[in-house]
Amino acid sequence: MSLIEFFRGKAAKEDRFTALVRPHLRLMHRMAYRWTQERADAEDLVQDVLTRLFPRVDELAAVEKLGPWLIKVLYRRYVDLYRRRANSPIDETAPCVSDDQFFQERLEDGHNHYQQLELQRLLNRALFTLDESWRDVVLLHDVEGYTALEVAEILDINVGTVKSRLHRARKKLRSVLEPGTVEVFAAC
């Protein structure tokens, strides 16, 4: 082993990794929550991704826009885990959005706008009635504010597909906000 190899110690690698990913951890958690709808699952997913990324610290350092890149890795891992669950003998095909407690806490807070939160709860549940491919686009573009180009890169699809899925998804979601559709989404 050369002296140069001696010099690049483990501590330096850990510090470099931490410096690179730490600014993006909350964003990763929020995006993981958007997909999993569970705080604990979101944390586990982020941790899993970080564990896998640590050996690739040099690759991370070379990434120009690390935020979207990390979200892409997170998304792929989410899909892998989801598919693995879907292939398990346990039937988890029925989507169940467990946002009740989260929204309830916020609704009970007098400082929040009740009507807006109710509509957002409806929309959140409606999102999980959409086709996954549509939902992914809405979550990234409309909820998190990524550009169509970034969404295309994260999901590995072309921009035209992003726009068409977005258009269809929005059309369906708008129907949720119309009077008379509230009851449909009121229960999980």
**Does the protein bind another protein through residue 6 (CB under 8 A)?**
yes
Residue ranges in 104-123 that form contacts with another protein under rule CB under 8 A: 106, 116-117, 119-120, 123
Euclidean distance between CA atoms 102 and 98, whole angstroms: 8
**Does the protein bind another protein through residue 21 (CB under 8 A)?**
yes
Classify burial at 186, counting beta carbons within 10 Å of its beta carbon; exposed 0-12, middle 13-18, buried 19 or more: exposed
| DSSP code string of 123-161 | HHHHHTTS-HHHHHHHIIIIIT---HHHHHHHHT--HHH
**Does the protein bind another protein through residue 85 (CB under 8 A)?**
no
Instruction: Return the closest-CA partner of residue 50 out of 68, 81, 80, 29.
Output: 29
**Does the protein bind another protein through residue 124 (CB under 8 A)?**
yes
**Closest CB 118 distance from another protein, rounded Å:** 10
- What is the torsional sign of CA 141, 146, 148, 154? negative
**Does the protein bind another protein through residue 77 (CB under 8 A)?**
no
**Does the protein bind another protein through residue 19 (CB under 8 A)?**
yes
- Residues at the interface with another protein (CB under 8 A): 2-4, 6-12, 14-19, 21-22, 25-26, 29-30, 33-34, 39, 42-43, 46-47, 50-51, 53-54, 102-103, 106, 116-117, 119-120, 123-124, 138, 142-143, 145, 170, 173-174, 177
